[in-house]
Amino acid sequence: MKSIRSASASFTTVVSLGVLYVLVVIFAVVISKELILSPEEMQGGLFPLFVGLGILFPLVLMGFILVNVLRLVREFRRGLPGSAFKGRLSLFFTVVVLLAAVPQGVVSVTFLSSALELVFSTGAADAIARGLDITLSYYDREVSDLERVARDGTLERILQGNPTPQGVDAALRERLYRPEAVQVFLRDGSERLFSGDPRFRQEEPLLADLLSGTRVTRLTVAQMPVLRLTAPVATVPPTIAMVTTRLPEGFEDTARALTEARSTVAWFEQLRPTFILTVGLVYGVFMAPILLLAVLISFFLSERIMQPIESLEEATNRVAQGDYSVRILARPNDDLGLLVISFNNMVNELDRARRRMMQAEKVQAWQEIAQRLAHEVKNPLTPIRLAAERLRRRYHSEAEDFPAVLDRTVETIVREVEELTTLLDEFRAFARMPQPMKEEVELRREIAAAAAVFAEDPRVTVDLGGIDPNFHAQVDRNGFRRILLNLITNAAEATTDAVCVRLYADVIRKNTERYCRLRLEDDGPGIPPELGQKIFDPYVTTKVSGTGLGLATVERIVFDHGGTIVYESAPGSGTTFIIDLPLRSADGDSTDS
Extents of the domains making up the chain? 2-122+267-319, 149-249, 337-431, 439-582
Which residue ranges of the chain lie beneath pLDDT 50? 1-10, 37-43, 585-593
Size of the chain in residues: 593
DSSP-based three-state secondary structure for 495: coil
Separation of alpha carbons 279 and 32, rounded Å: 10
Rounded Cα gap, residues 542 and 548, in angstroms? 8
> What pLDDT is stored for residue 19 in this prediction?
66
Q: What is d(CA 588, CA 590) in angstroms, rounded to the nearest whole number?
A: 7
Residue (of 580, 557, 564, 566) closest to 438 by Cα position:
557
In this prediction, residue 579 carries a pLDDT of 92
Closest by CA position to 307, among listed 332, 330, 327: 330
Bridge partner list, 362: none
| Contact predicate 244/180, CB 8 Å | yes
Are residues 524 and 495 in contact, defined by beta-carbon separation less than 8 angstroms?
Answer: yes
Which value, to the nearest 10 degrees, does the dihedral of the CA atoms of residues 271, 273, 276, 278 take? -40
Strand duo 513-522 + 191-196: pairing: unpaired
Largest Cα separation within the chain, whole Å, is 197
* Domain range 337-431, CATH class: mainly alpha
- pLDDT computed for residue 131 by the predictor: 86
- Judge contact between 197 and 180, C-beta under 8 A: yes
pLDDT, residue 52, reads 63
Q: What is the pLDDT of residue 503?
A: 92
> Which architecture characterizes domain 149-249 according to CATH?
2-Layer Sandwich (3.30)
CATH, domain range 439-582: 3.30.565.10
Q: What are the CB-based long-range contacts (under 8 Å, 24+) for 198-202?
A: 200/226, 200/244, 200/246, 202/242
Return the SS3 of 330: coil
Which of 304, 314, 291, 290 minimizes the C-alpha distance to 85?
304
Q: How far is it, in rounded angstroms, from Cα 593 to Cα 62? A: 47
d(CA 451, CA 588): 30
Intra-chain end-to-end CA distance of the chain, in Å: 43
